Amino acid sequence: MTDKEILQKSTLRLGVDVPDGNYIVKVLIGDESGKSEVTVKAQTRRLMVKEVVSGGLTEKEFAANVRGGKLTLEFYSHAPLVRGIDVKKAGDVTVIYIAGDSTVCDQGKEPWAGWGQMLPCFFTSKVAIANHTYSGRSTKSFIENGRLYDILKTIKEGDYLFVQFGHNDQKEDWRHTEPYTTYKEMLKIYINEAREKGAIPVLVTPMHRRFFDKNGKIVNTLGQYPEAMRQLACEEGVFLIDLNAKSEKLFNHYGPEGTKALFVYASPGDYPGYPDGIEDNTHFSEFGAYELARLVVEEIKEKGLPLAMYVKG
């Protein structure tokens, strides 16, 4: 379901002032007449429950990470089908912290979305997602802006730190790093700091942009950054999620035309703020972000991360 389709439904928005931290949210959803359909999002458009369809009443439970002192919930449905909400401070939950750029971050404005926004819906309430990613950041600037420090203030033993950078490390400005030297050096800081806290670092290779050659195959625009990350993962004995390789297969499967549904492509008039339409070959639609999150979860299971036990169904 795209954001545009969701907005055609009724929307119920709720906000609760709470201290920062992790919360277990239970929602009772349904229609006693036999049909119900609803999507639940939390905080900045994070997908928590994807299109519940059931007969009668259904209880769904998820873990939500709160920063900023307010838990926000949004319910999208054809009718007001929310029957009850219960919010409690979480006990022992595993937290996946994410450090990265705009391809991962909680995008506040449609039609954009990052895969970190879609990740919560794949996990049980035993896992909370703390998405600290931010647009325009590289391995270097994320640290210089104090964002890694913010993660280290709360990350604990048994948590995870997922790290995906590359798109901005290749920019020829103050964010720049070199693949086999400063890029690897910066990534080692994330690895070492996570391990110092007893957390588990996970490197995520940056996904491809939407650029195809004359034969309709994806062109690598990321230089040696993905390979440098693979090399470092081997050297440091770190789990690697190869989203670069997975995204190449996905994009080649969809092809030059089909991938437009994965990226931010819109015709004139589709969105009020973009009367001339949009063509973005780097950032993702909600559908594309969901597909990338699905690939991340697929790798979690294939690589044998202990997190796999908390993946839904």
Confidence of residue 1 (pLDDT cuts 50, 70, 90): very low
78 is catalytic: no
b/e map 136-174, b = 16+ CB within 10 Å: ebbbbbbbeeebbeebbebbeeebbbbbbbbbbbbeeee
Confidence of residue 34 (pLDDT cuts 50, 70, 90): low
Residue 8 clears pLDDT 50, i.e. is over it: no
Check residue 6 and give its pLDDT: 42
291 is catalytic: no
pLDDT tens, residue by residue, 117-140: 999 999 999 999 999 999 999 999
Q: What is the mean pLDDT of residues 37-48?
A: 91
* Options 283, 285, 286, 291, the catalytic residue: 283
138 is catalytic: no
* Options 196, 257, 279, 302, the catalytic residue: 279
Supply the mean pLDDT for the chain.
92
Q: What is the mean pLDDT of residues 67-82?
A: 84
Which residues sit opposite 46 in a β-bridge?
42
**Cβ neighbours of 309 (radius 10 Å):** 11
Lowest mean pLDDT among 10-24, 95-109, 171-185: 10-24
Q: Which residues contact 224 (CB under 8 A, 6 or more apart)?
A: 179, 180
* Options 102, 125, 138, 247, the catalytic residue: 102
